[in-house]
Structure 1
Amino acid sequence: MGKKLSKGAKIALAGAAGAGLFYFAAGAGFYEAFLTSKAVHKKNKPHLPPEAEKERCRALEKYENASEWYAAQDDNDLELISLRGETIRARYIPAEVNRHKYLICIHGYTSSPYRMAGPAYEFYKRGFNVLMPYLGGHGLSDRKTVSMGYHDRLDIVDWINYLVTFDEDAEIVLYGVSMGAATTLMTTGEDLPDNVKCAISDCGFTTAWEEFMVQCKNVVHLPPFPFLYALRRYAIIRDGFDPRKCSPLDCVQRSKTPTLFIHGDKDEFVPFWMLDVLYDNAVCEKERLVVEGAVHANSDEVNPELYWKTVFSFVDKYLTPAMAEESVA
């Protein structure tokens, strides 16, 4: 017979089991609170500061006619079976005249294609067909979890290949805000066809892990350990999502896609310092725009003239001349 455990050993084992259960419960709780479709679609989001709510709403009123333009479109939601075997969806708005210019417009955390109608309309007025994917855990997405762009980057690659299949002359621009910007940058780290001409990243983060660290300190007001570490472990088990590997920073170090990096110098939600880290490490052709006085995701609101002049000057450099000159504005 084996030796009986001492009372002290039993207490130690019980304590370890209790600690393990607490660790798992903490990870599950954080995950359900932040990284599920239920959390995203809650009407009240106390974990988001006011500037993040601006990103969510996109302040459509500043874009004259944008919401009316979006609402007037036929319900044209595309469905595609991704290479990951999931049904992915996107709103597609064709240009008034058949052209080969395409914008893939990528929304942020808690946002939607509708909330990106303003930026999308700016491209539409210049003759772009507009594709607006629903990211995981948002809107019409079948996924019930949020991966901060990690899984979504592969879905964007599938959408790119979908467009190229139907239009081999397609010239594609990627544009994203906040989590959508991170998704954009991670997409450029993949093997993309030459049809992808350039990318615009507006206030993207370096890694999901570093962004979560910021939120632990500034929004949730809890120590990263054990809560954030427990979240990471649970996310890996639940969704195959590792916040440390959700890394636009790694992706820009192998990207070949010309990229414009935009950030407001008063952004504290995705801290302004992340711009320098991303830009300095990017090996692609690159430019950057710092908008003075802008907080998170409102650079286009603070200085719309500078913002859109810079965006389209950048885009036009990488489109073929005939494409760059076209406009239906």
Structure 2
Amino acid sequence: MKKTLGILVSALFFFLSIGLYISNRLMYIKKKEEQQILEREVKAGRLNMKNFSSLPKREVKIHSPFGYPLHAFLVEPHDTNRYIIIAHGVTENKFNSVKYMNLFLKRGYNALIYDHRRHGESGGKTTSYGYYEKFDLKAVVDWLKKEKGADLFLGIHGESMGAATMLLYAGMLEDGADFYIADCPFSDFKEQFRYRLKREIKLLPPALFVPLTDLFLRLRDKYSFADIAPISVIQNIQKPVLFIHSEKDDFILPSMTKELYEQKQGSKMLYLAKEGLHAQSFNENSQEYEKAIDQFLQTYAESVAMPT
């Protein structure tokens, strides 16, 4: 009897330890250092600090509904009502968004780039892969519309987690932008987690540890995997969406973007980049990337834009 009880206690301790370990890795994922991101983007020629510093802009702090500030730059070189919000990926910060911002500045848009919760200079204790982030994005959109007026013509560009956050915002909260660009999003975080678990921790069977991790997230951070599945809300998005993914991406598989594209109703476009791994579609295919954006804007978005 004592031996059986000891085995049960040991098994319980093991599962609790694993659940705590994996949920910690998700909630407190290691972020890149700001200086590392800056040096990478400058070295690659995607960020010119002199040019960035000379842009007419202001730093703003937007209040999250969860009580912390979201740090942002509002960049306004143009006298226009056209704006783009850029949502970066997990472990990155707003300086990773500058390359996308520049694409839209060239096309006559003003821009707002910001740090997600627990990233860059924003507050927040955990990363939730779109669950809490979508409410923060709503706060950013609401702030910009209040600041610039009801006639705002707005686009949102998201990369990776930022793209999933954007789709969750549009599909669950409000279809509040005029167009969306989703670059390498996951369609279902539960399936993404299952896939990464197989790749990174081969000794842990997903059938056992996916529900265990889900339970720990429910208990510790008050959301579940089911709450971060853009595929479950994609049909709610009425505005045009451009889906982008690198065909060689082996971190988030391109099949996830294809699934989202197939399920999206109404105006949509799909661009599959030939080169580059995860979140590298622009970096490795810049001319084709820009052509896809121009085609999308001209065909689906700007054709219904309000006059500037």
TM-score range (shorter-chain normalised) is 0.7 to 0.9
Task: Letter of the 1:69 partner, please give it.
Answer: N
1:16 correspondence with 2:8? yes
Residue ranges of structure 2 left out of the alignment (5+ in a row): none
1:40 correspondence with 2:26? no
Q: Secondary structure in 1 aligned to 2:225? A: coil
Q: Secondary structure in 2 aligned to 1:147? A: coil
Alignment partner for residue 30 of structure 1, among 12, 15, 22?
A: 22
Match of 1:268 in 2: 250
Residue ranges of structure 1 left out of the alignment (5+ in a row): 1-7, 44-52
On the 8 A contact 1:34/1:40 being kept in 2, the answer is no
Match of 2:85 in 1: 104
Structure 1 segment 115-264 matched on structure 2, within 5 A:
115-166=96-147, 167-192=149-174, 196-223=177-204, 224-264=206-246
Q: Relative to structure 1, is the Cα distance of residues 60 and 186 closer, same or farther in structure 2, using a 3 angstrom cutoff?
A: farther
Match of 2:51 in 1: 69
Query: Residue 14 of structure 1: CA displacement?
Result: 4.0
1:319 correspondence with 2:302? yes
> Deviation digits for residues 125-163 of structure 1, max 9, x if unmatched?
223221122212211222121111121111111211111
> Deviation digits for residues 180-214 of structure 1, max 9, x if unmatched?
111111111034366x1100011111111111111
Q: Relative to structure 1, is the Cα distance of residues 244 and 62 closer, same or farther in structure 2, using a 3 angstrom cutoff?
A: same
* Equivalent-residue separation in structure 2 for 1:150 and 1:18 (angstroms): 34
Match of 1:298 in 2: 280
Query: Residue 246 of structure 1: CA displacement?
Result: 0.6
Q: Relative to structure 1, is the Cα distance of residues 241 and 193 closer, same or farther in structure 2, using a 3 angstrom cutoff?
A: closer
Query: Residue 111 of structure 1: CA displacement?
Result: 0.5
Query: Residue 253 of structure 1: CA displacement?
Result: 2.0
* Equivalent-residue separation in structure 1 for 2:254 and 2:111 (angstroms): 29
Query: Residue 118 of structure 1: CA displacement?
Result: 0.9
Q: Relative to structure 1, is the Cα distance of residues 21 and 112 closer, same or farther in structure 2, using a 3 angstrom cutoff?
A: same
Query: Residue 268 of structure 1: CA displacement?
Result: 0.7
On the 8 A contact 2:249/2:278 being kept in 1, the answer is yes
Q: CA RMSD in A?
A: 2.8
The answer to which of 274-283 and 66-75 deviates more is 66-75
Q: Relative to structure 1, is the Cα distance of residues 81 and 313 closer, same or farther in structure 2, using a 3 angstrom cutoff?
A: same
On the 8 A contact 1:113/1:132 being kept in 2, the answer is yes
* Equivalent-residue separation in structure 1 for 2:78 and 2:111 (angstroms): 13
* Equivalent-residue separation in structure 2 for 1:262 and 1:246 (angstroms): 19
On the 8 A contact 1:113/1:134 being kept in 2, the answer is yes
Q: Secondary structure in 2 aligned to 1:300? A: helix
Alignment partner for residue 291 of structure 2, among 309, 317, 320?
A: 309
> Deviation digits for residues 43-94 of structure 1, max 9, x if unmatched?
9xxxxxxxxx99x987554555544433455884322333x33223132232
The answer to which of 227-236 and 56-65 deviates more is 56-65
On the 8 A contact 2:72/2:112 being kept in 1, the answer is yes
Q: Secondary structure in 2 aligned to 1:103? A: strand
Which structure dedicates a bigger proportion of its chain to helix? 2
Q: Secondary structure in 2 aligned to 1:69? A: helix
> Deviation digits for residues 7-55 of structure 1, max 9, x if unmatched?
x2x5444433332222222121112233216x22579xxxxxxxxx99x
Q: Relative to structure 1, is the Cα distance of residues 14 and 136 closer, same or farther in structure 2, using a 3 angstrom cutoff?
A: farther
The answer to which of 212-221 and 61-70 deviates more is 61-70
Task: Letter of the 2:129 partner, please give it.
Answer: M
Query: Residue 276 of structure 1: CA displacement?
Result: 1.7
On the 8 A contact 2:261/2:270 being kept in 1, the answer is yes
* Equivalent-residue separation in structure 2 for 1:158 and 1:268 (angstroms): 32
* Equivalent-residue separation in structure 1 for 2:245 and 2:274 (angstroms): 9
Q: Relative to structure 1, is the Cα distance of residues 178 and 297 closer, same or farther in structure 2, using a 3 angstrom cutoff?
A: same
Structure 1 length normalisation: TM-score? 0.82
* Equivalent-residue separation in structure 2 for 1:60 and 1:222 (angstroms): 39
Match of 1:3 in 2: none
* Equivalent-residue separation in structure 2 for 1:293 and 1:90 (angstroms): 33
Query: Residue 236 of structure 1: CA displacement?
Result: 1.3
On the 8 A contact 1:92/1:132 being kept in 2, the answer is yes
Query: Residue 252 of structure 1: CA displacement?
Result: 0.7
